[in-house]
Amino acid sequence: MLDTALKDLEILPMTIDDLEDVLNIERLSYSSPWLKSQFEKELQNQFSNKFIAKVAHDGRQETAAFIIFWVVADEAHILNIAVHPDFRRKGIAKSLLFFTLNSMEERRVKEVFLEVRRSNVYAQELYKDFGFKEIGIREGYYGNNNEDAIVMALEIKGEREVAFDDEEEQDEGFI
Ligand SMILES: CC(C)(COP(=O)(O)OP(=O)(O)OC[C@H]1O[C@@H](n2cnc3c(N)ncnc32)[C@H](O)[C@@H]1OP(=O)(O)O)[C@@H](O)C(=O)NCCC(=O)NCCS
């Protein structure tokens, strides 16, 4: 599978062989990272969808990011998205989300939800770019520092108009 914005970006289903790379990204990305066992559970869960993004680096394809989301009937929930710090601000998260929302649309998902830390303004910006709106607050949701979660939702209804830095590459690469 190929997707959008970045040259040589590949989006592939996550397998058990990707676990170490994914755990590394997770630990570099969060103050309270998921445990290995949580990823293992997701890999076994039939409602869970897991993808990694690989990019060309030093002459080989390197795992740069991942996304995990659930689809249950016509609702979806994004549980986790993270990009390796070395590969941030290159449009990888946007590409992964674009891919994910298209895949949800194909599966007739009507609405998608996620939680994001109140302090995580970069992620909130990313989601707002896709049209996600804040629909509520879960007070003290994150146990490690009692931080609130902002609940965001997006109704899925056709064309997405997210801006990539290079629209031509995005148009060419998208399948
Ligand atoms: C949030 C995260 C996934 C973004 O990944 P990324 O690949 O760097 O994001 P992109 O390059 O696709 O940028 C998408 C948009 O996010 C916002 N954004 C991301 N990083 C930003 C930064 N450092 N400063 C300002 N805006 C930022 C911008 O709106 C950006 O769009 P723009 O480049 O057109 O301005 C990444 O920073 C990350 O992994 N963070 C740690 C894990 C995390 O917080 N995940 C989300 C949990 S809810």
Report the CATH number at residue 28: 3.40.630.30
In a domain, 167, yes or no: no
Range(s) of the domain holding residue 76:
10-159
Burial of 9 (0-12, 13-18, 19+ CB in 10 A): buried
Q: What is the pLDDT, as a whole number, of residue 6?
A: 66
Q: Which residues contact 46 (CB under 8 A, 6 or more apart)?
A: none
pLDDT along the chain (175 residues), means of 10: 60 98 98 96 96 93 97 97 96 96 95 98 97 98 94 86 56 33
Burial pattern 64-76, b for ≥16 Cβ within 10 A else e, equals bbbbbbbbeeeeb
Q: How many domains does the chain have?
A: 1
In a domain, 164, yes or no: no
Burial of 7 (0-12, 13-18, 19+ CB in 10 A): exposed
| Catalytic option among 127, 159, 161, 172 | 127
User: What is the C-alpha to C-alpha distance for residues 98 and 94, in angstroms, rounded to an integer?
Assistant: 6
In a domain, 165, yes or no: no
Q: What is the pLDDT, as a whole number, of residue 117?
A: 97
| 3-class state of residue 154 by DSSP | strand
Q: What is the pLDDT, as a whole number, of residue 157?
A: 84
User: Measuring CA to CA, how many Å separate 149 from each of 8, 14, 131?
Assistant: 34, 27, 18
Provide the β-strand partners of residue 63: 54
Phi then psi for residue 85, to 5 deg, are -50, -35
In a domain, 129, yes or no: yes
In a domain, 171, yes or no: no
In a domain, 143, yes or no: yes
Q: What is the pLDDT, as a whole number, of residue 165?
A: 64
Q: What is the pLDDT, as a whole number, of residue 163?
A: 64
Residue entry with tokens 């559970």? 41
Q: What is the pLDDT, as a whole number, of residue 87?
A: 95
In a domain, 175, yes or no: no
Give the binding-site residues of ligand 1, using a 6 Å CB cut-off: 29, 81-83, 88-94, 116, 120, 122-123, 125-126, 129
Q: How far is the CA of 41 from the centre of ligand 1 (A)?
A: 26
| DSSP structure string for 78-144 | EEEEEE-GGGTTSSHHHHHHHHHHHHHHHTT--EEEEEEETT-HHHHHHHHHTT-EEEEEEEEEETT
In a domain, 131, yes or no: yes
Q: How far is the CA of 110 from the centre of ligand 1 (A)?
A: 25
